[in-house]
Amino acid sequence: MEELVARVTQATGLDATTAQTAIGHILAFLQKEGPATEVNQLIAAMPGSEAAIAQAGAGEGGGGLMGMLGGMMGGGVMALGQKLMSAGVPMNQMQPLGRELFAYGREKAGEDVMGPIVGSIPGLSQFV
């Protein structure tokens, strides 16, 4: 996970803590919205990803204005964007963050795992 966090911080300018939290949010989102088989293969190929998911989930208040906004938007990529903004990721850094995370995923798990994940979640392809 340290390698991925370092790559994300270099690509986005985010600090390591924010980068790791953002990675955890994205992976948790993929667990919820993506095809289970491929997402599980991705998580297995990325050491430390389960801890990042757990850490990101522990930091959620589950409510407040951002939670309400995410709920009104119906979830999906828009709700993920709200979570990332509340974690300190500026809007203009979401695409570089997604691109770096998915490039790393392709290196570790392969395109046969990443392709179905990206293809199954509406709106995700614009961020990767």
Residue 93 contacts by C-beta under 8 Å, 6 or more apart in sequence? 12, 13, 14
Q: What is the pLDDT of residues 59-101, one digit of tens each?
A: 655 444 444 444 444 578 888 999 999 999 999 999 999 999 9
> Which of 79, 101, 106, 96 has the alpha carbon at shortest distance from 23?
101
pLDDT at 45: 97
Q: What is the pLDDT of residues 41-60, one digit of tens each?
A: 999 999 999 999 999 887 65
Mean pLDDT of the chain: 88
CB-facing half-sphere around the CA of 9: CA atoms within 13 A: 13
Q: Give the whole-number percent of the chain exceeding pLDDT 90.
A: 76
pLDDT at 58: 79
pLDDT at 66: 45
pLDDT at 76: 86
Contact (CB, 8 A) for 37 and 31: no
Would you say residue 119 has pLDDT above 60? Answer: yes
